[in-house]
Amino acid sequence: MLGISQQDIADKAKVSVPTIKRLEAGDGPLKGTYETVSAVISVLEVAGIIFTNGETPGVKIKAK
């Protein structure tokens, strides 16, 4: 959605690229430590992603 590379996310979240790949490959809820998942979510939110909740959880891009 944002065109951010796995390397950029990993660098900003201070995790490894294989960790990002593992998180992206999983189906359903993210499987990782709370700290790792929190760091990745924070990076994505700063980049402009909004995580939605409700009956149909998902993501959208912040309006500019």
If one compares 61 and 7, the residue with the highest pLDDT of the two is 7
Is 1 among the domain residues? no
Tell me the residue range of the domain where 47 lies.
Answer: 6-61
Which residue's entry shows tokens 């809820």? 29
Is 46 among the domain residues? yes
Is 49 among the domain residues? yes
Q: Could you report the per-residue pLDDT of 47-61, keeping only the tens digit for each?
A: 999 988 867 778 888
Is 11 among the domain residues? yes
Q: Could you report the per-residue pLDDT of 17-52, keeping only the tens digit for each?
A: 999 999 989 787 778 899 999 999 999 999 999 988
If one compares 2 and 13, the residue with the highest pLDDT of the two is 13
Structure confidence at residue 6 (pLDDT): 95
Contacts of 42 (CB under 8 A, 6+ apart): 13
Q: Give the chain's domain count.
A: 1
